[in-house]
Chain A
C-alpha cells in the first residue's frame, strides 16, 4: 500500500513532445504538491492543490499545468518539452494529522 505513488518512474522523450506524470495519494491528505529536483538536488516547489484549488503557483513556465480530478490525484502535464526540463519530479501530499509531507518516489524525466 504505497502512500504516494507516481507513474511513470522513468520517462525519456524527445524535445517538443507533450507528456504527463500521474500522482495518487491514499493518505486522505488535503494538499498535494509537485516538486522539481535538479541535478544539484535542490528542491523547487512547482504547484500545490488544496481541495482542488490551486493555492501555490510558483514562477514555472505555463507549459507546465497541474490537473486534479479529485482530492487524491494531482497529475502534471508538460507541453513542448525542452532539454532544461530534464530533472526528477516529485509528487508529495500533506495536511493530515501527522506533520510534514509524504513524497512519492519520483519520476526521472529525460528530454533528448
Chain B
C-alpha cells in the first residue's frame, strides 16, 4: 500500500513533442504528489506538485493530471526540449512535510 509505481522506465521523444510519464498509487490517504527532475550529476529538484482536491495543475510547459478515482497521476511536458532531458521521479506522501514514497524514475531523452 505504500508503493508508487512509475512508468515508463525510459522514454524518447522528438523535440517539440509531448512527453507523458505516469504514476499509480494505492494508499488513498496520500495527500501530496510531487514530481522531481534530476539532471546528471545533480540532486533531484522539485518541479511541480499537486494535491488531490484538484484534477490538474499547470506551470509553464509542465502539467500534472490527477485522477483520484483511478489513483493515478501523470506528468505532461508540452513542446519538449533537449534541455528537458533528465530523470523524472514521481512521489507521494501524507503531507508536504512527511516522508516521500518515490517512484522508480523515468529517464527522458528529447531528440533534437
Contact = CB atoms under 8 A, between A and B. Distances in A.
Interface residues of A, number: 21
A99 B96 contact: yes
A105 B42 contact: yes
B42 A106 contact: yes
Contacts of A76: none
Contacts of B99: 45, 48, 56
B89 A100 contact: no
Interface stretch (A12-20, A62-70, A77-85, A87-95): A87-95
Interface string A88-112: 0010101100011111111000000
Contacts of A41: 38, 87, 104-105, 107
8 residue pairs, one from A and one from B, having the closest CB atoms: A103-B43, A99-B96, A100-B46, A41-B105, A43-B102, A95-B97, A90-B43, A103-B44
